[in-house]
Amino acid sequence: MSIHIEAKKGEIAETVLLPGDPMRAKWIAETFFENPKCYNNVRGMLGYTGLYKGKRVSVQGTGMGIPSALIYCHELINEYGVKNLIRVGSTGSYQKDVKIRDIVIAMAASSTSGINNSRFINADYSPTANFELFLNAALYAKDNNIPIKAGNVLSADEFYDDDFDSYKKWAEFGVLCVEMETAGLYTIAAKFNVRALSILTVSDSLVTKERTSADERESTFNTMVEIALNSV
Ligand code: HPA
């Protein structure tokens, strides 16, 4: 047992999907896994292990934002030996051609978080996806005619920005969309020499102000989870 996860050693698989919402973790386990077993309920941050296509896989809720996600990633890597961490989350579009319901794979993550500023003083660190996981995800999507977009995303520290138009600066420099965890995930994976990937579905657009309905979110979430489970 670690501080925030009550699983015994060996109860968590080497590959873990990471939704922010613990209820999504439950839904993924019940929808995609054979024989899912819940291994964590500390703080209601549900985690499950089961089988997908005969291989052991886990899913763990992370909560929202880099600080919360890093707690779970740190313990999964260092206490449970996890080697592949794949975030499956939602994102807000910054670009006209990144539309609601699109799937975005984060090649790299810019950030407004201070985690790397305090590590690499007066220098910029570039948190990037693991190339093998990225390639597998992109090839799976291509082979199955699932359109994807890939590029730089922003991991923001605040969901509600003071200045609504501040996204335009990031958009001008090619950032595709905003979420709140990937830069932390890619940084900690690099630090501990494990593999990480973030796959996102666009739930809302800062450009057009559209939002997906709960039903639409569920069906696009399905496709994203399918890509994630076939990326390792
Ligand atoms: N901001 C931050 N995170 C998000 C958003 C957003 O607009 N949409 C989905 N995740």
Average confidence score pLDDT of the chain: 96
The pLDDT tens digits for 13-34 are 999 999 999 999 999 999 999 9
Q: Does the ipTM exceed 0.90? A: yes
- d(CA 25, CA 43) in angstroms, rounded, equals 14
Q: What is the pTM of this model?
A: 0.96
CB atoms within 10 A of CB 27: 18
Closest approach atom of ligand 1 to CA 204:
8
H or E stretch including 68?
Answer: helix 66-80
Which residue, by CA, sits nearest to atom 6 of ligand 1? 92
Residue 181 binned pLDDT confidence (cut-offs 50, 70, 90): very high
Q: Is 153 in the pocket of ligand 1 (CB under 6 A)?
A: no
List of E strands, the chain: 15-18, 34-40, 47-52, 55-60, 84-93, 103-111, 149-155, 177-179, 195-205
